[in-house]
Amino acid sequence: MANYHFVGVAGIGMSALAQLARARGDTVTGSDRYFDQGDMPDRRARLEAQGIRIFPQDGSAIRRDITHLVVSTAIEDQNLDLARARELGLTTIHRSRVLSNFFQECHRGVAVTGSFGKTTITALIGWGLASAGLKPMVVNGGIMRNFENEKMIGNAVPGDGEYACIEADESDGTCINYRSSVGVITGIARDHKEPDELQRIFITFAANTRDALVVSPQAGAILIGQPGPRRVTFGLQDGDVRPRRIHLGSRDVRFNVGNTRFTLRQIGAYSVFNALAAIAALREMGVTDHSIENALRRFEGVGRRMELINRVRGVRIFDDFAHNPSKIEAAVEAVRRAGARRVLGVFQFHGFGPARFMRQELVEVLARCLGKEDRLWLLPIYYAGGTAAKDISAAEIAAEAAARSAPVSAAADRAELLSALRQTAQEKDTILVMGARDDTLTALCREIAQALESAPPVKGA
């Protein structure tokens, strides 16, 4: 039996692995500065309910008998747990290596990577395998509502060792650590890395895949002449798996693939795109279209992936993980196609580094995708602690966008944002809260709902 300690155990990827290790019968402890600050009490309670012991992140949990001291890319060298580990001569292991070890123990596995859609696609495939009775191990970077319960957070599902589906992260390049039966590459967009670097990563990922590679036409284009298994393409217009008779509704999407009519209770054309990837991968895993159709119809979505939080006085409030320019544009288009009279957007950069990286492209996208009647507020840049250089501000970027005639402004804090929305929101508007990393954005959506309840929006024209 192994002895694991997870530094940063509250993280979505780390908490998933902690739950899997505990389900295997291993001893598991963890620490996290969020827990030290009293944040995420529900997540802490669920981990402790599974027998995972939580320590302060002050080095007190680090002992010589730890066999796996697990860290992620987000953990800085100055961390007190790591300092204590160095004193004891302990070595660390990256979370991707732990996930790779668990994944390789399964005989048939799907790994999903790409610049967009991978969390939802992983959830769709995992739910499709589970619905078919295949008892998969599933590890994801989001809360899968179908797998959430009183104890399990919903980002991990222990399997029986035969099937698996995991989200394989390209942002730190660790997706190349996995050897899958079926690989999925959704596409390439400028996010954490430049496109040319992503291409090299995805070529290696493809070469590491054994049986079949499910790719969008965009991703398939970079793999021409490259080593790898048989390729199956999917796309809204082109591909081996493509839809007919698409209906984009205000509450769901419906489409045909072959003779089967699929329904998914999500909105936006990209939801069809995500479903096509899942259909293609599940077929490669031997799941029938009838079983896939049943699973998609009962799919409950992923937390913070275009999640409808509330409807207040004719205003819908969505919570979405969109955190780069292409995802923000897709999210705005999705709610517009789903009946929004105006889009009232809220966006928070998930760090100072990402803000610098996407600054120019975001300004261009906001100027292009927002209509004259829309509004978007930038919140102060999210800061999780550490040594990040605070040499850029949301207000500066908002001013740049406004200079391009985009209806963008900065909110000094959440109180100012709530006041602005109370004065602005009207019937048939849609409020779209976007951003990554900060789990309190969901709570912000609920605060917005309460603010609108206390000051009912004026009926729109």
pLDDT tens readout for residues 229-255:
999 999 999 999 999 999 999 999 999
pLDDT band at residue 284 under the 50/70/90 scheme: very high
Average pLDDT of 418-443?
A: 96
What does the longest C-alpha to C-alpha distance in the chain come to? 68
CA atoms of 336 and 49, how far apart (whole Å)? 41
Mean pLDDT of the chain: 96
Q: Where in the chain is the domain with CATH 3.40.1190.10?
A: 106-297
The pLDDT confidence band at residue 461, using thresholds 50, 70 and 90, is very low
Q: Give the residue-averaged pLDDT of 274-282.
A: 98
Which one of 3.40.50.920, 3.40.50.720, 2.102.10.10, 3.40.50.620 gives the CATH number of domain 3-94? 3.40.50.720
The pLDDT value given to residue 385: 76
Give me the percent of the chain exceeding a pLDDT of 90.
Answer: 93
| Separation of alpha carbons 22 and 2, rounded Å | 10
> Does residue 384 register a pLDDT over 90?
no
What pLDDT does residue 377 have? 98
Q: Give CATH superfamily name and number for 106-297.
A: Mur-like, catalytic domain (3.40.1190.10)
Q: Are 90 and 59 in contact (CB under 8 A)?
A: no
Q: Where in the chain is the domain with CATH 3.90.190.20?
A: 307-454
Q: What is the pLDDT of residue 396?
A: 98
Q: What is the mean pLDDT of residues 144-168?
A: 97
Is residue 398 within 8 Å of 376, Cβ to Cβ? no
Report pLDDT digits (tens) over 39-81: 999 999 999 999 999 999 999 999 999 999 999 988 999 999 9
pLDDT digits (tens, 9 = 90+) for 131-143: 999 999 999 999 9
Q: Taking residues 12-27, what's their average pLDDT? A: 97
- Domain 307-454 grouped into CATH 3.90.190.20: yes
pLDDT of residue 458: 60
Residue 168 has pLDDT above 90, yes or no: yes
- The identity of residue 354, as a single letter, is P
| Tens of pLDDT, residues 181-194 | 999 999 998 876 88
How far is the C-alpha of 125 from the C-alpha of 287, rounded, in Å?
A: 10
- Whether the per-residue pLDDT at 308 is higher than 60: the answer is yes
In the chain, CATH 3.40.50.720 sits at: 3-94
